[in-house]
Chain A
Amino acid sequence: EPEVTQTPSHQVTQMGQEVILRCVPISNHLYFYWYRQILGQKVEFLVSFYNNEISEKSEIFDDQFSVERPDGSNFTLKIRSTKLEDSAMYFCASSLRSGSFFYSPLHFGNGTRLTVT
């Protein structure tokens, strides 16, 4: 069964550094998402992406964050200047469809654990 792949599985970075988290969604999927989960807390929505642009974003997704689909397969999340509070597990997900009447299942990657020191 096709999978969503995330790399790296664990990233350690120093405060103030830029990080790029990478995801390869399922090839025929059209909708892409990033979520984060701070240790011991709920999963939180960050952003959704469709047709090469952001379709929705949460309050968490401020100017420090950006997403890109640089080619036909990768979907990236960039944090420009990391802070200690950015330490979390970041999940990528993709789906074939979206919308009120055409929901399709979400497929999640295994996550990237980001540690900011």
Chain B
Amino acid sequence: KNEVEQSPQNLTAQEGEFITINCSYSVGISALHWLQQHPGGGIVSLFMLSSGKKKHGRLIATINIQEKHSSLHITASHPRDSAVYICAVPFYGGSQGNLIFGKGTKLSVKP
């Protein structure tokens, strides 16, 4: 069974700061998901990546398959980025949606 560890659990930043959230997993995977959970509870898929780096606006996700590690970066953070960021990986041998989720990193960006 894959274990997913995220760090930090909580993160408070000032507006404009560069943010890094880390995710480590224990078993080899073919793709990793980064998700954003809004304060109201809804979940949005940010990235799905299997190698290298992906960028969308101020968000950058990287993955190192050999080291079983991924990072989510937010450049020029803004209060609207305040949310819980969740890393998820497929259950070993399972399909894409059969995911094991991390506990999440709660980000609070102060103006």
Contact = CB atoms under 8 A, between A and B. Distances in A.
A66 B38 CA distance: 28
A93 B94 CA distance: 16
Interface size range on B against A: 20 to 34
Chain B binding surface, main DSSP class: loop
A43 B43 contact: yes
A75 interface: no
Contacts of A33: 97
B88 to A, nearest CB: 7
A42 B91 contact: no
A47 B62 CA distance: 28
Interface stretch (B16-24, B44-52, B66-74, B75-83): B44-52
Interface stretch (A16-24, A77-85, A103-111): A103-111
B107 interface: no
Contacts of B43: 43, 91, 93, 108, 111
Interface of A: 31, 33, 35, 42-45, 48, 55-56, 58, 89, 91, 93, 95, 97-101, 103-111, 113
